[in-house]
Amino acid sequence: MTKNAYVTDLRTLQGECAANYARLCRLLGEAEAGDHIEIPLTGRTGHFGSLHLEVRERAPYTTMLRVSQSGTLDGMLETPRMVVHLYHDVRMAEVTDFQRRRHFQGRYRYPNAHMHQPDEKLQLNRFLGEWLDHTLAHGQAMNQPETP
């Protein structure tokens, strides 16, 4: 039995990056370099942490931000954190650093020394999308004007 090599699904990866760009733009608003946005997450049982967006750099064509979470995940060995680059000219956001590991390839041979999955880059961007969807569904904006 022969094993076929993984082929990068570029259309799916680009779609995920474009959707993440739209999600992040909703959450960031007009944030500038140096801004830190904290979004409390709530559910039926109350508060379960906060998502943190830190705008590290902002330029005309790119924005670099750090995404992390605090709260109920604090007991984990390492809470999830990543660096995401937003490319404004193509309206895409890409995970470029996850848990201090950088520059993910489009595909990996498996097995490999770091035990990356063949589609590691796609999985990281999908994880970001699910994380942001969860935040959009359960997050409460800070300093939001109250409605009468």
**Residue boundaries of the structural domains of the chain:** 10-138
pLDDT tens, per residue, the chain with 148 residues: 556 665 667 899 899 999 999 999 999 999 999 999 999 988 777 777 899 999 999 999 999 999 998 886 555 556 788 999 999 999 999 999 886 566 655 555 656 565 555 567 888 899 999 999 999 998 876 543 333 3
What's the length of the chain? 148
Structure token digits, residue 51: 């998502």
Q: What does the alpha-carbon distance between residue 20 and residue 9 come to, in Å, rounded to a whole number?
A: 17
Helix, strand, coil share (%) of the chain residues, nearest 5: 30, 30, 40
DSSP of 33-91: TT-EEEEEEEETTEEEEEEEEEEEEE-SSEEEEEEEEESGGGGSSS--EEEEEEETTTT
pTM of the model: 0.78
Is 14 in a helix, a strand, or coil?
A: helix
Q: Do 95 and 103 form a contact (C-beta atoms < 8 A)?
A: no
